[in-house]
Structure 1
Amino acid sequence: MAAEEGNPMACQDGQMALAARLLKRVSEETTGKNLIFSPLSIHVALALMSAGAAEDTLEEILSIAGAPSRGDLEAFVKGVVVERVLADRSGVGGPSVAFACGSWTDKSLPLNPTYRDTVVGTYKGETWAVDFKNHRVQSRKEINAWMAKATRNLITEVLDPYKPGVTLHVVANAIYFKAEWRSIFDKDLTIDDEFHLLDGSTVDDVPFMRRSWRCYQKIACHDGFRVLQLPYKSYDDNAGLSWKLRKNLPDFSMCVFLPDERDGLWGPVDKLTSRPEFLREHLPTSYVPVGKFLLPKFKLTYMDSIRDILRDLGLRLPFDSELANMTEIVSGGFEMCVGEIVHKAVVEMNEEGSEAAAVTVESDEDMGFSLYDYDEPTPEPEPTVDFVADHPFAFFIIEETSGTVVFAGHVLDPTKEE
């Protein structure tokens, strides 16, 4: 597996396209439930998978990932994801971000040096030789402990240590994100109100965050829906950063797509998933004065196999024990296939900001933001825009400069975690 030079910018549209396709497909699988997942974590999982693939299997993985070549995909993950989007900025008062990836191989199988170099050198990950054959339970517990550490204990278990089955190789990536709003919400303004569900019923006593009357928010009004963009704090004013350094920092924000109709969520979702550019094209471009403003607090969790979802999107060869070419993971041409891909994500949004984490695990087993002249007439006040999220909506946590979708989901009932 020869090293390939790549263009990190060649995969940005592909990552957004995959995020859109995943949103539609995962939403179909979670009918009637809240949803949180990380398109970025799944995209990285595909990149890690491509590192061990060859020939037609590799081409299929690259197609699903929206990558012209393996070199382009590696350059995107390394240059955009690892070194920029997911680089920790807590030291300058920005988001606390962590990214980790790891590969666990049974000690009876020597890891391909080139594959190891990709995991360690390109993706800044780690590799371990473990005894899956004789100490399966302990090995899986160690992987879960690694995930818990990487996600600050937001995700403590993805692999069932006691589930039977033969495992030879597990690869995982973990993302942790915690950030304050650029303008935090006043907890004294939070009120309990009702939230309207898709079936027409309501749930009472839902905590809604509010803004002061006629504050300014980044909101865009479109046909049938409106979009709120809440920016996260990028740096502390006391950090002493130059203008140039501030300009080059990543900018994260949560974007809320709110339908006008209480039961109209799937209209915007269908539009979002129809074209990858839709999300970017419909983000707000200016701040407007806000009238009534309500946004519910929520905490969501998701965990499931996404193997069949990826199969439906066209990823089939890596799961086929007879046709898969995953021979570049271990030395000696040992034939492997991907048995399972498990994804888990959590997010909590409150007055201070957001905290979220995601893990994607692949294994070979069967389970992985007035001044006027007094001589002139007093201008008319600007009309205010209401943003009342008291019914189901979709949301995204994005890094604006790269367009990377880090987390995505929808809220059907903010009183439930799933």
Structure 2
Amino acid sequence: MGLREEIVSQNDVALGISKHVLLTEGNISDSVVSPLSIQLVLGLIAVGSKGPTLDQLLSFLKSKSNDHLISFFSELVSVVFADGSANGGPLFSFANGVWVDKSLSLKPSFKEILEDLYRAGCNEVDFQTKAVEVTNEVNAWAEKETNGLIKEVLPSGSVDNATRLIFANALYFRGAWNEKFDESTTKDYDFYLLNGSSVHVPFMTSNKNQFIRAFDGFKVLRLPYEQGEDERRFFTYFFLPDAKDGLPALVEKVGSESGFLDHHLPQQKVEVGEFRIPRFKVSFGFEASKTLKGLGLVLPFSDKGDLTEMVDSSFSQNLYVSSIFQNPSSK
């Protein structure tokens, strides 16, 4: 499997996770999810697993082997997640951290992946007597790495004396759209809710041509970010159903068709009439393990799972993933 095929596969995985979260956990309310962060964590768990557990992870991630996953995530971390602010591109802060109980010793091969590929700093802690302190330490780390955007990645009580290892991922992106909206043209319009009602909210407006493409039942808008001398190109995409109650059906469609994004993105500017986008700020937290188990990934979260490639200890036989928390936000 080449890099391009791996990208298509991981896009399918990401959209499948997003669909399940939005249709169940989020209930199509104001929700935001970072499936790529979940995929990074699952890729790391795959490196530390073997047997049926590894097979299930690879099947879920639509990848042929750990080598393919490692190659893909290595490219992702070193190229896509690199900070471009010095070259006039978006500010990107990507950080990983590991907190491991002092009773365990990470296997050299697993630690090498953590440090070299994931660029994760490893911290030895005592979960037996200082679980609360470790929780506070991880949350303080996440707040620092996201410029204060995420203040609590671990809920109170999520860490106890049975915890043996924590892997934390923090991703912060800040960019300016290529064509900024004039604040003086912001006006209030009706925003329609799924229950049939509407609310009056501020909308950003513009009379410029836009990257828009219409499909059967929905439209797609692309807003490019300022690039400067950064060779990478970043965009925000908005998917808008034609029907006021059409969001659940659109989410189902986007998350079910393989290679959907390759065939449904606008490539050229067109003239538009009335054009407006609501100003928004979304914060949403959920426990992703339930979502993943609902999608068929169960062994890593069971005492029948095999995560013996993570730690060099007899305790490795009892290791399993208890929780995966996500607290993403967007504005």
TM class by shorter chain equals over 0.9
Q: Deviations over 1:193-245 (max 9, x none)?
A: 221111221112x0100002xx210000111111111111111xxxxx5xxxx
Q: 1:182 aligns with which of 157, 161, 178?
A: 178
- In the superposition, the TM-score normalised over structure 1's length comes to 0.75
Matched, 1:340 2:319: no
Determine the C-alpha separation between the residues in 1 that align with 2:158 and 2:176: 39
Q: 1:271 aligns to what?
A: 253
Determine the C-alpha separation between the residues in 1 that align with 2:159 and 2:55: 32
Partners of 1:10 and 1:68 within 8 A in 2: no
Q: Deviations over 1:2-48 (max 9, x none)?
A: xxxx9544521221111121122101222152110111111101111
Q: 1:389 aligns to what?
A: none
Alignment of 1:22-171 (within 5 A): 22-29=17-24, 30-79=26-75, 81-162=76-157, 165=160, 166-171=162-167
Structure 1 gaps of 5+ residues are 1-5, 236-240, 349-418
Q: 2:242 aligns to what?
A: 260
Determine the C-alpha separation between the residues in 1 that align with 2:311 and 2:159: 23
Partners of 1:132 and 1:139 within 8 A in 2: yes
Cα RMSD (Å):
1.5
More helix by share: 2
More strand by share: 1
Determine the C-alpha separation between the residues in 2 that align with 1:227 and 1:163: 39
Greater CA radius of gyration, 1 or 2? 1
Determine the C-alpha separation between the residues in 2 that align with 1:226 and 1:219: 7
Determine the C-alpha separation between the residues in 2 that align with 1:160 and 1:269: 29
Determine the C-alpha separation between the residues in 1 that align with 2:299 and 2:196: 43
Partners of 1:136 and 1:161 within 8 A in 2: no
Deviation at 1:267, TM superposition (A): 2.5
Deviation at 1:279, TM superposition (A): 2.2
Alignment of 1:182-331 (within 5 A): 182-204=178-200, 206-212=201-207, 215-235=208-228, 241=229, 249-321=231-303, 323-331=304-312
Partners of 2:96 and 2:120 within 8 A in 1: yes
1:66 and 1:74, CA in 2 relative to 1: closer, same or farther beyond 3 A? same
Determine the C-alpha separation between the residues in 2 that align with 1:268 and 1:22: 15
Structure 2 gaps of 5+ residues are none
Partners of 2:15 and 2:255 within 8 A in 1: yes
Which deviates further from its counterpart, 60-69 or 292-301? Answer: 60-69
Partners of 2:212 and 2:220 within 8 A in 1: yes
Determine the C-alpha separation between the residues in 2 that align with 1:123 and 1:11: 18
1:227 and 1:32, CA in 2 relative to 1: closer, same or farther beyond 3 A? closer
Percent identity of paired positions between Structure 1 and Structure 2: 36
Determine the C-alpha separation between the residues in 1 that align with 2:31 and 2:134: 30
